[in-house]
């Protein structure tokens, strides 16, 4: 089977998390993703994120950039833009994760690139989008979890506002950008005309407020925070402490509640008028939960998981990450894969959840800095060796011959060019 996106070519001006996560979805589905990295700053800042970092390679970078190619190109120079335009002529999508005001200034929108390739899709993933009073502001996942109300929904009633343990705004924004870009490519091939995709992490975070957002916007609802990560309206649907750990129980249907009561040996609870329905249990949760907590504390996590699984009640242990990766389901589905890396050794990472067809999925390590500069320019732009050598000598491109110079690493960490000025071509939110 040919991979689903094997006929799509993506040029990405990206770094760090959200943008690379978006194009990773393309790469894992077979698209050719050519990652543009700035030769003056050492490329994607994710290359230098600790721990587990060696020169311009890190496990952080590996996570977001497998199956891609690296072309080191200075987009601020006239020659660099000429090279970039040659790439665009043979591409389907240009993805960027710059601040919302930068794609137009740097010529990365359809207004600029549609003249070069009428079918090109220009997908901008920024903190706040390309319009509005915050368009020129940078943003990061932490900030957006606070701004979009997520932190006030997370944690116990007496705890401070709390972020998710993962960068879910970045990851969600990446998925949204990938979906938008794929839809736009489909339309461009049908209609012969490309377009802009203006994707905002803030918009994404607001959209993921889901029904809570609808309740607040429609009725002025004030979302409470409950102990033990409890669901705001379904009871019981939360963590419970066992004699040696924690479990999650999710009675999202009335039949699960009745089964739980039987598994407890307390079938009468199901018909108790205080707890008979969703509404009853929600209204009387302060009476019900202590009863459940007392029972759950009498057995181990393993015992309760076995009992409730047998009773067909949705249940799971609260694992740490190591236990999650060793879960029998993860092992059976080969959810952890291994990739050999010339400097980092054997890299074990999470496989793509995009399982389409029954053929093996691509699994190539993330590129070294500038690793594919020469091969891409030769094959895609049809440049000869002499022209590429001139571009390397002028500093317009880098072929990765000196990937780990100290000055380059320092420049990238600061986000500044070698002269101390902010490098606007660096993909920043």
As a whole number of angstroms, the distance between CA 98 and CA 100 comes to: 6
Is 219 considered catalytic here?
no
HSE-up (13 A, CA, CB side) for residue 429: 24
As a whole number of angstroms, the distance between CA 400 and CA 386 comes to: 17
Pairing outcome for strands 246-250 and 237-241: antiparallel
* C-beta of residue 372 within 8 angstroms of C-beta of residue 378: no
Cα dist from 6 to 31, 81, 240, 350, whole Å = 5, 26, 46, 22
* C-beta of residue 297 within 8 angstroms of C-beta of residue 246: no
Which two tokens mark 199?
Answer: 């994707």
Sign of CA dihedral 403, 404, 410, 413: positive
Residue closest to 231 by CA, chosen among 210, 207, 262: 210
Q: Which of 85, 112, 219, 231 is catalytic?
A: 231
The residues assigned a catalytic role are 231
């Amino acid at each position: 089977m040919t991979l689903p996106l094997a006929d799509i070519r993506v040029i990405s001006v990206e770094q760090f998390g959200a943008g690379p996560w978006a194009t990773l979805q393309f790469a894992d589905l077979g698209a050719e993703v050519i990652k543009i990295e700035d030769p003056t700053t050492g490329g994607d800042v994710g290359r230098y994120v600790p721990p587990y970092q060696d020169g311009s390679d890190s496990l952080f970078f590996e996570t977001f950039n497998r199956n891609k190619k690296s072309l080191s190109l200075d987009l601020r120079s006239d020659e660099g833009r000429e090279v970039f335009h040659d790439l665009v002529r043979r591409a389907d999508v240009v993805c960027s994760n710059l601040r919302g005001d930068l794609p137009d200034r740097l010529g990365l929108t359809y207004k600029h690139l549609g003249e070069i390739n009428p079918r090109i899709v220009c997908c901008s993933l920024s903190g706040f989008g390309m319009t509005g009073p915050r368009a020129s502001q940078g943003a990061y996942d932490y900030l957006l979890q606070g701004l979009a109300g997520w932190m006030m929904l997370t944690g116990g009633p007496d705890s401070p506002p709390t972020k998710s343990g993962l960068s879910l705004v970045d990851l969600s924004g990446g998925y949204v950008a990938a979906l938008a870009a794929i839809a736009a490519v489909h339309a461009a091939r049908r209609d012969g005309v490309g377009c802009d995709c203006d994707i905002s992490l803030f918009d994404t975070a607001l959209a993921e407020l889901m029904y809570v957002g609808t309740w607040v916007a429609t009725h002025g609802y004030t979302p409470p925070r409950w102990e033990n990560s409890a669901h705001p309206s379904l009871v019981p649907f939360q963590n419970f402490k066992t004699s040696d750990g924690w479990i999650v129980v999710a009675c999202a249907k009335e039949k699960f509640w009745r089964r739980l009561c039987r598994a407890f040996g307390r079938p009468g609870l199901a018909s108790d008028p205080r707890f008979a329905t969703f509404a009853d249990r929600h209204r009387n949760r302060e009476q019900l939960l202590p009863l459940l907590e007392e029972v759950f504390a009498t057995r181990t996590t393993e015992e309760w998981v076995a009992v409730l699984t047998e009773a067909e009640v949705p249940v799971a242990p609260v694992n740490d990450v190591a236990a999650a990766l060793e879960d029998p389901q993860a092992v059976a589905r080969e959810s952890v894969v291994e990739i050999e890396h010339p400097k980092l050794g054997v890299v074990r990472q999470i496989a793509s959840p995009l399982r389409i067809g029954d053929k093996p999925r691509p699994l190539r390590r993330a590129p070294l800095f500038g690793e594919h500069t020469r091969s891409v320019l030769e094959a895609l732009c049809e440049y000869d060796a002499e022209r590429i050598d001139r571009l390397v000598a002028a500093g317009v491109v880098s072929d990765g011959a000196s990937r780990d110079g100290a000055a380059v690493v320092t420049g990238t960490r600061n986000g500044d060019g070698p002269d101390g000025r902010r490098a606007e071509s660096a993909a920043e939110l």
